[in-house]
Amino acid sequence: MQAIHPAIEPTEDGSPTLRHPVFGETYHSLHGAVAEARHVFIAGGLKRCPLPHVHILEAGFGSGLNAWLTLREAEESGRTVWYTAVEAYPVDIRTAEALRYADDPLFGALHRAPWGEPTEITPRFRLEKRAEDLVFARMDAIFDIIYFDAFAPDTQPELWTEGLFRKLFAQTAPGGALVTYSAKGTVKRALRAAGYEVTRLPGAPGKRHMVRAVRPRKNESDANLK
């Protein structure tokens, strides 16, 4: 897939984000890119997972911000993370390196990692970037957390469907969770229809709610599977 060249825009917490040249949407909230990513994916997802080794799927690698914050959290908390990210429109390396997070050499390492090959970024963080369309991507791994970070349901309705959520549910570990910034009614209904138990949590700055959708354990003995 060919790399795209999104524009860089400031957000209210001082951190930059990107604007997609085709969809016209920003990759994170203009109320604060880092604030939103920390709230939805790190606090709502990673920090609620008790496992010492976590396998994460991200829908939409984009700017690499969610991946980078996850790497930092893994380093700080002393856990290991295997991070698989699917991205249909990879960002060109020069744009990525112009983002301010790029002051951290590990942020550049995430972007320079080859596509389609698991790469050890640090001993605690293994990244596999897949340049594929999420709708068609074949998956066989089981994930403890799914960061569902597609563009908004009104912009990309084809990605917020019961069908796609069923596919992700099948790859979610019992007790694992999908987290996303959208708490739209149609999204919650599609997640429930796919089998998830859906909870609304307080949203990131500028948003009332976000969603955390958990794959129920079949029975108590599943609690001891991992």
Can you list the alpha helix ranges (DSSP code H) found in the chain?
Answer: 33-37, 65-77, 93-98, 105-112, 162-170, 185-194
Contact between 141 and ligand SAM by CB under 6 A: the answer reads no
**Euclidean distance between the first and final Cα of the chain, in Å?**
36
Q: Are 58 and 84 in contact (CB under 8 A)?
A: yes
CB of 8 to ligand SAM, least distance (A): 12
In sequence order, the 6+-apart residues with CB closer than 8 A to the CB of 160 are 150, 153, 182, 184, 186, 187, 190
Contact between 99 and ligand SAM by CB under 6 A: the answer reads no
Contact between 29 and ligand SAM by CB under 6 A: the answer reads no
Contact between 92 and ligand SAM by CB under 6 A: the answer reads no
Contact between 134 and ligand SAM by CB under 6 A: the answer reads yes
For the record, the structure tokens of 33 come out as 């890119």
Contact between 34 and ligand SAM by CB under 6 A: the answer reads no
CB of 62 to ligand SAM, least distance (A): 2
Contact between 86 and ligand SAM by CB under 6 A: the answer reads yes
CB of 179 to ligand SAM, least distance (A): 12
CA–CA dist 200, 208 (Å, integer): 10
Binding-site member from 15, 27, 113, 183 for ligand SAM (CB under 6 A): 27
CB of 103 to ligand SAM, least distance (A): 17
In sequence order, the 6+-apart residues with CB closer than 8 A to the CB of 189 are none
Could you list the residues that contact ligand SAM (CB under 6 A)?
A: 27, 58, 60-63, 65-66, 86-89, 133-135, 149-151, 156, 159
